[in-house]
């Protein structure tokens, strides 16, 4: 019997050149059962962080960059919407690919924080480029943590 697809298990996936949905929003699910729809404008309203010399390592597309990404540090984003303790964040793309990041990994990434990026090289990300995408600057080989077209984020 085949195992059901789990978007949070590290795996390669076929490249998806087209956005899986028209909506750039994503659903934020909180540990207390609360949920909130997050828009790109919500992210623009939070303190920005810019990281230079970032690369996109994409399954089937190779590596591109370097780029300067601007967005919200994931640690700051979580603190804004969930001020209590948390153990991990699950970030799932609208196309079914996802990753899981521990709170410790997020907290340790201080010099080059993990971003919910909305801008690339000074220009807003296009819908085709993800509009909002998770950038993990420490990842340089398999693109198993970088997620574009974020559709859902769960804080656990």
Q: What ranges do the domains of the chain cover?
A: 26-151
Structure tokens at 89: 């964040």
pLDDT beyond 80 at 13 = no
The confidence score (pLDDT) of residue 117 equals 92
From residue 97, give the alpha-carbon distance in Å to each of 5, 6, 27, 85, 90: 10, 8, 15, 26, 11
Quote the pLDDT of residue 23. Answer: 72
Query: Do the beta carbons of residue 89 and residue 105 sit within 8 Å?
Result: no
Token pair 């609360």 is found at 34
Q: Each residue of 56-111: pLDDT tens digit? A: 766 666 777 889 999 999 999 999 999 999 999 999 988 778 889 999 999 998 88
Residue 42 pLDDT = 94
In this prediction, residue 34 carries a pLDDT of 96
Q: What CATH number labels 26-151? A: 3.90.420.10
Please check the confidence at residue 19 and state whether its pLDDT lies above 90.
Answer: no
The pair of structure tokens assigned to 51 is 């990281």
């Amino acid at each position: 019997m085949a195992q059901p697809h789990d978007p949070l298990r590290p795996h390669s996936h076929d490249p998806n050149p087209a956005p899986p949905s028209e909506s750039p929003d994503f659903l934020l699910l909180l540990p207390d059962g609360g949920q909130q729809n997050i828009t790109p404008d919500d992210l623009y309203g939070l303190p920005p962080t810019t990281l230079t010399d970032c690369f996109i390592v994409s399954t089937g597309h190779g590596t591109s960059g370097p780029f300067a990404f601007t967005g919200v540090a994931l640690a700051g984003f979580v603190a804004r919407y969930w001020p209590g303790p948390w153990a991990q964040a699950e970030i799932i793309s609208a196309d079914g690919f996802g990753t899981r990041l521990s709170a410790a990994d997020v907290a340790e990434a201080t010099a080059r924080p993990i971003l919910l990026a909305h801008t690339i090289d000074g220009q807003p990300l296009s819908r085709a480029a993800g509009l909002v995408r998770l950038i993990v600057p420490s990842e340089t080989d398999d693109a198993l943590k970088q997620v574009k077209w974020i559709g859902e984020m769960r804080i656990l």
